[in-house]
């Protein structure tokens, strides 16, 4: 658990006015990591960069927590095919709104990170895919990209060091599934955002069949920090096995909702009561969704001593996800909450896979019935059955993401659900 | 050779193979919907799930590792695998629904999901009886339903294009139709619209699904979501008989099935032949059912004044024909064979009149240049142009035939609407005595003095040589007035007969055409003229041909049946050019 967080100085989004402007970013040591690498490509060979990032163990901030450097190392040896880095800024999971802050306040750190990643993987083209609802932030990023082109950080012969990398910003039309990495690739190709069957994995066959790596925006923003300060330094921040700074997106019934940057492994208590100013109206904490709505909800009594890192959250019965924390006070109606979450996944299932297409709708409809006081106890068991029938049987993880909240919310708040159900005919008789 | 273990049996395999196809090739079964052997594998229906893992091999020795009981150690994959997309690897272990309760359970669960929003309107659905969803639900599905909330409603009776009607509620979103238009026909006219359980296939706004191959989507749709606008609600599949045949509407010779009831052909579907048409056929070929049923020449007829014809008896027709032949010298006869008729018909026709002393029949290929595509539609509008060449009929063109007609007194035309396709005009024939042996009423039969009704491809066994030089044959699918099906071996061989069920109304006379196989008619004519010409069967004709013609040596109906047609040693360019 992080004790000295109060003295923590933000690294990803330091409190510097106008940092989104390239002059300000450069004045504050911006693009120095890129320069370091490109100026001494002998010392910083592509493999060296990858290894350093691998050693730092930047855990993917898109939700799955995969070691970024390790993922880069899956790219095959360059051949005559184009190679891509696809940056995932789709950020559509309810409770998650942290990449937005990077676009708004420090877009260049992301661009710099993406460039280093591209260099390390011999990528020639970077795509950034941003959810369409973020059109204002798309414009901010586009502005930053233009500046980076002007200053020679992007394009042909970057900084005169013989490296060519292009970056294109594009945005979606409002589909959560286009944040799933292969759904995003389809969408980038101009197709329906239908996630792909894996294998083949994107590193083998990604965009237009070419080697592609997908990383989250925040993941890539961590890269310049690692290059500037070294893997060892990075490892010294945060929790065991889960390092570095994390953008905690805290929403719900707190006094000061927002995005807060602190080391990984912050105590949940500190985040809710200190950082986010405590529960609104002095109410009691009832439950927390720790990392976006697909991560299992935890009851207040399950949160004792829990910190925001993957090990601690796993032990508590949930996951780190995107660190998008949804805080709920004692007045929260868990039936309503779960119905609303299920409504989201029902609405967002792409509909390819039978268990997800049909299961998400079934879950929502039964939950609606229970919410309306028309459910029966057997419906709760049916819901649990349906989640088992969905989980692990689909092309992408949306079905799992839809199943888990239902299973865990019912199991962890069963009384509340039963209380909303009609007494069964037999019980009355 | 690498090995896999499926349901505890060991099998060897070679190369890149997917588990599902491998299992199907072994004659075993795993239920599936979205997979189609000729298209990409989206693995979206999730029906074909199996339990799979890998025997663990010792890295050094390459031997399988054993546990304490001496059994091979297995590393099961953490999730159920869709067998359609599961590439076999050495030492893979697969348990299907036969040996794994988990697999059985997963398949049952998927079927339950598929059915919750399905309208379950089998009693009024065209697909019932040949519906993979129905069949697999019976075999592998759950009993009853636990779905007690409202089903999703979607558009019904949507006219996707001129020939295909969509009921979106029945759709299970397998994307076969979309993939067909993307990958096979290439029209790319379909996509899935909306999202989640509201998904269904659609064209782009204001586009229409007029793909010349659109009806193949009806065949491959695993439910009754896509139906043939023509065939909708016409017949239940179990009321029909299914007979293998050949598409005669163009030169490709797509392998097809004719579906008959009450001596009418109600629909035509493609029959798989990887050498010719794979699983597909053009929509045009399916339309041919109309020409088998309607507008047929039934009973011989003679021309009265003007264009009016009057039916006449077979005896009278034979007598009339014979008298015309007797009144003219053989040099005054002009015989026109036909790329629209079979090898046997052309051969018998030519031979008969050769016996009378007439010279070899001419024929005119029926080509529309630029009409074809690089798939299954050909410039050649006829099924047997190469068959005419094979038996050395004299190939000519419109100008050639006009000259020949001008020089002749009697013109005898075998099954070819020369006037309709403007190779001749009615005027060309007006001063001649014209006899047509024909299946359908055409401008040519109208211009003929005597019309002899003959069997069409749906009524006889005969062979056709396609543009690529492949000889394939038909089976009789419907009876004529003179078919004795118990004696007619061909019919019982070809038809998947449902004779004896309540639905087989064979006895109905009204749909039987009063016609004869061309050779049969010529037998009668030969009797009258005292010619040595007697063929009891098209097989006899074919046997004679294969004795005579080098490239037909060893070719028999049996071989055509066993090998789905026989590729003849004919030069490609010889056969494809005009
Ligand atoms: C349904 C679904 C939606 C997702 N949405 C996002 C998203 O909006 N942003 C994101 O970065 N990752 C999202 N992911 C995770 C991505 O698939 C992928 O794991 C991630 O972008 C990889 O980047 P990382 O390794 O840097 O975290 C989603 C995954 C699923 C299954
Ligand atoms: S799991 Fe759901 S969202 Fe993911 S591919 Fe399948 S249907 Fe689409
Ligand atoms: S209409 Fe038929 S073929 Fe097309 S997606 Fe639906 S079920 Fe599949
Ligand atoms: S057949 Fe394998 S998933 Fe559909």
pLDDT class of B578 with cuts at 50, 70, 90: very low
- pLDDT for A424: 63
pLDDT digits (tens, 9 = 90+) for B331-380: 999 999 999 999 999 999 999 999 999 999 999 999 999 999 999 999 99
Task: Count the domains in chain A.
Answer: 3
pLDDT of residue B499: 52
Q: Do residue A181 and residue A218 come from a single domain? A: yes
Which of A310, A329, A348 marks a domain boundary? A329
* Ligand 4 geometric centre to CA of B81 (Å): 10
Residue A239 to residue B198: CA distance in whole angstroms: 44
Residue pLDDT, tens place only, B432-475: 999 999 999 999 999 999 999 999 999 999 999 999 999 999 99
Q: Which residues in chain A show pLDDT less than 50? A: 428-429
Neighbour tally for A164: CB within 10 Å: 12
Please classify residue B314 by burial: count the beta carbons closer than 10 Å to its beta carbon, then call 0-12 exposed, 13-18 middle and 19+ buried: middle
pTM as predicted = 0.94
- The reply to whether A45 and A95 lie within a common domain is yes
Lowest mean pLDDT among B59-68, B116-125, B267-276: B59-68
Give me chain B's average pLDDT, please: 93
pLDDT band at B128 (very low <50, low <70, confident <90, very high): very high
Which of A234, A253, A279 represents a domain boundary (last residue)?
A: A234
A&B contacts, CB < 8 Å? 96
Q: Are residues A228 and A123 in the same domain?
A: yes
CA distance A305 to B161: 64
Domain residue limits at A266? 237-329
Q: Are strands A125-130 and A166-171 parallel, antiparallel or unpaired?
A: parallel
Q: Are residues A217 and A297 in the same domain?
A: no
Same domain assignment for residues A211 and A62:
yes
The CATH number of the domain holding residue A387 is: 1.20.1440.230
Claim to verify: residue A87 and residue A181 sit in the same structural domain: yes
State the helix-helix crossing angle for B101-116 and B132-140, rounded to 10 degrees. Answer: 130
A69's tokens: 């450097």
Predicted local confidence at residue B510, as pLDDT = 80
- Choose among A348, A366, A393: nearest Cβ to B49: A393
Cβ of A197 under 8 Å from any chain B Cβ?
A: yes
A12 and A129 both lie in a single domain: yes
- A228 and A247, same domain (yes or no): no
What is the pLDDT, as a whole number, of residue A429?
45
B197–A361: do the CB atoms touch at under 8 Å?
yes
Ligand 3 touching residue B225 (CB < 6 A): yes
Q: Which residues line ligand 1 (CB under 6 A)?
A: A 60-64, 66, 68, 88, 90-93, 176-177, 179-181, 214-216, 219, 396-398, 401
The reported pLDDT for the residue numbered B497 is 62
**Closest chain A CA to residue B78:** A392
pLDDT at B42: 97
Per-residue pLDDT at B504 = 55
Give the span between the Cα atoms of A46 and B471, in whole angstroms. Answer: 62
Kindly report the protein residue whose alpha carbon is nearest to atom 29 of ligand 1. A180
At B103, list the tokens.
């697999």
CA A170, CA A84: separation in Å to the nearest integer? Answer: 14
pLDDT tens profile A124-160: 999 999 999 999 999 999 999 999 999 999 999 999 9
Confidence (pLDDT) at B479: 87
- Output the pLDDT for position B261: 87
Model confidence at B500, pLDDT cuts 50, 70, 90, reads: very low
Task: Report how far residue B68's alpha carbon sits from residue A213's, in angstroms, rounded to the nearest whole number.
Answer: 43
Tell if the CB–CB gap between A365 and B43 is shorter than 8 Å: no
Check CB contact under 8 Å for B191 and A354: no
Gap from CA of A51 to ligand 3 centroid (Å)? 47
In short, whether B47's Cβ falls inside 6 Å of ligand 4 is yes
A239 strand-pairing partners: A242
CA atoms within 13 A on the CB side of B424: 31
CATH number at residue A77: 3.40.50.11540
**In this complex, do A392 and B79 lie within 8 Å of one another by their Cβ atoms?**
yes
Q: How confident is the model at residue B29 (pLDDT cuts 50, 70, 90)?
A: very high
- Over residues B297-318, the pLDDT tens digits come to 999 999 988 778 999 999 999 9
Contact A354 B47 (CB under 8 A): yes
Using the atom order of ligand 3, give the atom closest to the CA of residue B173.
5
Q: Does B142 touch chain A (CB under 8 A)?
A: no
Q: Is A132 on the interface with B (CB under 8 A)?
A: no
Unique residue bearing structure tokens 């002095």? A282
How large is the average pLDDT for residues B264-280? 96
Instruction: State how far the Cα of B69 lies from the Cα of A216, in Å rounded to an integer.
Output: 48
Contact B113 A359 (CB under 8 A): yes
Domain boundary residue, one of A188, A208, A234: A234
Across the interface, which of A194, A349, A361 has its CB nearest the CB of B152?
Answer: A361
Q: Percentage of chain B surpassing pLDDT 70?
A: 95
Residues A312 and A339 in one domain: no
Predicted local distance difference test score (pLDDT) of residue A426: 57
* Residue B547, Ramachandran bin (φ over 0: left; ψ between -120 and 50: alpha; else beta): alpha
Provide the pLDDT for residue B503: 52
**3 state SS of B302:** strand
Q: Using the beta-carbon criterion (under 8 Å), do A351 and B173 form an inter-chain contact?
A: yes
CATH code for the domain in which residue A270 is found: 3.10.20.600
B577: pLDDT confidence band, cut at 50, 70 and 90?
very low
The rounded Å distance from CA B374 to ligand 4 centre is 30
Strand partners, B92: B4, B54
- B498 band by pLDDT with thresholds 50, 70 and 90: low
What pLDDT, on a 0 to 100 scale, did the predictor assign at position B487? 60
Indicate if A299 and A227 belong to the same structural domain: no
Q: How confident is the model at residue B485 (pLDDT cuts 50, 70, 90)?
A: low
Query: Which domains does chain B show, CATH number per domain?
Result: 3-114 (3.10.20.740), 122-228 (3.30.70.20), 301-460+514-567 (3.40.50.740)
Ligand 1 atom at shortest distance from the alpha carbon of A88? 11
* Residues A111 and A207 occupy one common structural domain: yes
Residues A222 and A278 in one domain: no
Element (H, E) at B311: strand B309-311
B334, B404 Cβ separation under 8 angstroms: yes
């Amino acid at each position: 658990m992080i004790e000295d967080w109060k003295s923590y100085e933000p690294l990803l989004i330091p409190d510097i006015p106008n940092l989104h402007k390239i002059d300000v970013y450069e004045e504050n040591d911006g693009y120095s990591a890129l320069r370091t690498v490109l100026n001494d490509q002998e010392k910083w060979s592509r493999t060296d960069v990858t290894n350093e990032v691998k050693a730092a163990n930047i855990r993917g901030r898109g939700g799955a927590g995969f070691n970024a450097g390790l993922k880069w190392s899956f790219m095959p040896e360059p051949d005559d095919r184009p190679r891509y880095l696809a940056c995932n800024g789709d950020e559509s999971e309810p409770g998650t709104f942290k990449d937005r802050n990077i676009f708004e306040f420090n877009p260049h750190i992301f661009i710099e990170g993406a460039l280093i990643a591209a260099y390390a993987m011999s990528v020639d083209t970077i795509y950034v895919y941003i959810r369409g609802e973020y059109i204002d932030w798309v414009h901010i990023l586009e502005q930053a990209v233009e500046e980076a082109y002007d200053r020679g950080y992007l394009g042909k012969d970057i900084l005169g060091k013989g490296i060519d990398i292009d970056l294109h910003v594009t945005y979606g039309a409002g589909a959560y599934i286009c944040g799933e990495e292969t759904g995003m690739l389809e969408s980038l190709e101009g197709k329906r955002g239908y996630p792909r069957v894996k294998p083949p994995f994107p590193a083998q066959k990604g965009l237009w069949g070419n080697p592609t790596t997908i990383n989250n925006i925040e993941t890539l923003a961590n890269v310049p920090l690692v290059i500037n300060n070294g893997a060892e330094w990075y490892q010294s921040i945060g929790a065991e096995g889960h390092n570095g700074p994390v953008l905690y997106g805290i929403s719900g019934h707190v006094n000061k909702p927002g995005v807060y940057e602190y080391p990984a492994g912050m105590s949940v208590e500190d985040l809710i009561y200190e950082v986010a100013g405590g529960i609104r109206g002095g109410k009691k904490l009832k439950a927390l969704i720790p990392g976006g709505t697909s991560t299992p909800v935890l009851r207040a009594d399950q949160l004792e001593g829990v910190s925001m890192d993957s090990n601690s959250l796993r032990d508590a019965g949930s996951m780190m996800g995107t660190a998008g924390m949804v805080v709920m006070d004692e007045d929260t109606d868990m039936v309503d909450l779960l119905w609303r979450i299920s409504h989201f996944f029902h609405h967002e299932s792409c509909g390819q896979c039978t268990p997800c297409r049909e299961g998400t709708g079934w879950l929502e409809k039964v939950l609606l019935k229970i919410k309306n006081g028309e459910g029966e106890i057997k419906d709760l068991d049916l819901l649990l059955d349906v989640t088992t029938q969905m989980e692990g049987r689909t092309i992408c993880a949306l079905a799992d993401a839809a199943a888990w909240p239902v299973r865990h919310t019912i199991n962890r708040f069963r009384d509340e659900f039963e209380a909303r159900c009609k007494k069964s005919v037999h019980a009355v008789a | 050779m690498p090995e896999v273990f499926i349901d505890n049996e060991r099998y060897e395999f070679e190369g890149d193979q997917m588990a599902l196809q491998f299992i199907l090739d072994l004659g075993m079964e795993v239920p599936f919907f979205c997979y189609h052997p000729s298209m990409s594998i989206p693995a979206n229906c999730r029906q074909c799930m199996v339990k799979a893992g890998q025997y663990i091999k010792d890295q050094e020795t390459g031997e399988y590792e054993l546990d304490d009981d001496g059994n091979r150690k297995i590393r099961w994959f953490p999730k159920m695998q869709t067998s359609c997309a599961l590439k076999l690897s050495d030492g893979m272990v697969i348990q299907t629904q036969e040996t794994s309760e988990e697999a059985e359970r997963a398949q049952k669960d998927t079927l339950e999901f598929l059915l919750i929003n399905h309208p379950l309107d089998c009693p009024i659905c065209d697909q019932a009886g040949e519906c993979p969803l129905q069949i697999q639900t019976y075999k592998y599905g759950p009993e009853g339903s636990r779905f007690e909330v409202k089903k999703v409603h979607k558009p019904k009776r949507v006219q996707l294009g001129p020939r295909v009607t969509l009921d979106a509620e029945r759709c299970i979103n397998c994307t076969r139709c979309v993939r067909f238009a993307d990958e096979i026909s290439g029209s790319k006219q379909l996509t899935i619209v909306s999202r989640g359980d509201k998904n269904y296939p659609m064209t782009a706004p204001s586009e229409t699904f007029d793909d010349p191959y659109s009806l193949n989507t009806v065949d491959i749709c695993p439910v009754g979501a896509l139906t043939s606008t023509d065939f909708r609600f016409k017949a239940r599949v179990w009321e029909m008989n299914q007979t293998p045949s050949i598409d005669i509407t163009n030169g490709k010779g797509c392998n097809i099935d004719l579906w008959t009831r009450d001596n009418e052909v109600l629909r035509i579907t493609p029959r798989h032949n990887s050498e010719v048409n794979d699983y597909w056929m053009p929509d045009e070929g399916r339309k041919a059912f109309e020409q088998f049923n309607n507008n047929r020449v039934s009973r011989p007829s003679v021309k009265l004044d003007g264009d009016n014809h009057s039916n006449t008896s077979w005896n009278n027709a034979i007598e009339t024909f014979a008298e015309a032949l007797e009144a003219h010298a053989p040099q005054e006869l002009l015989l026109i064979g036909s790329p629209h008729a079979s090898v046997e018909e052309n051969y018998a026709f030519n031979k008969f009149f050769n016996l009378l002393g007439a010279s070899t029949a001419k024929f005119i290929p029926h080509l529309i240049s630029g009409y074809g595509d690089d798939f299954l539609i050909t410039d050649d509008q006829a099924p047997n142009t190469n068959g005419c060449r094979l038996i050395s009929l004299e190939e000519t063109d419109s100008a050639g035939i006009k000259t020949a007609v001008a020089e002749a007194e009697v013109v005898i035309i075998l099954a070819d609407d020369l006037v309709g396709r403007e190779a001749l005009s009615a005027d060309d024939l007006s001063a001649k005595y014209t006899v047509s042996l024909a299946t359908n009423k055409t401008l040519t039969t109208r211009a003929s003095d005597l019309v002899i009704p003959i069997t069409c491809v749906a009524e006889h066994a005969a062979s056709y040589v396609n543009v690529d030089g492949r000889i394939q044959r038909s089976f009789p699918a419907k009876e004529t007035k003179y078919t004795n099906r118990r004696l007619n071996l061909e019919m019982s061989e070809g038809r998947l007969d449902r004779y004896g069920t309540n639905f087989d109304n064979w006895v109905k006379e009204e749909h039987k055409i009063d016609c004869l196989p061309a050779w049969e008619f010529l037998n009668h004519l030969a009797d009258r003229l005292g010619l040595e010409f007697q063929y009891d069967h098209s097989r006899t004709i074919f046997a004679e041909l294969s004795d005579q013609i080098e490239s037909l040596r060893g070719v028999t109906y049996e071989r055509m049946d066993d090998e789905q047609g026989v590729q003849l040693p004919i030069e490609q360019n010889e056969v494809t050019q005009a």
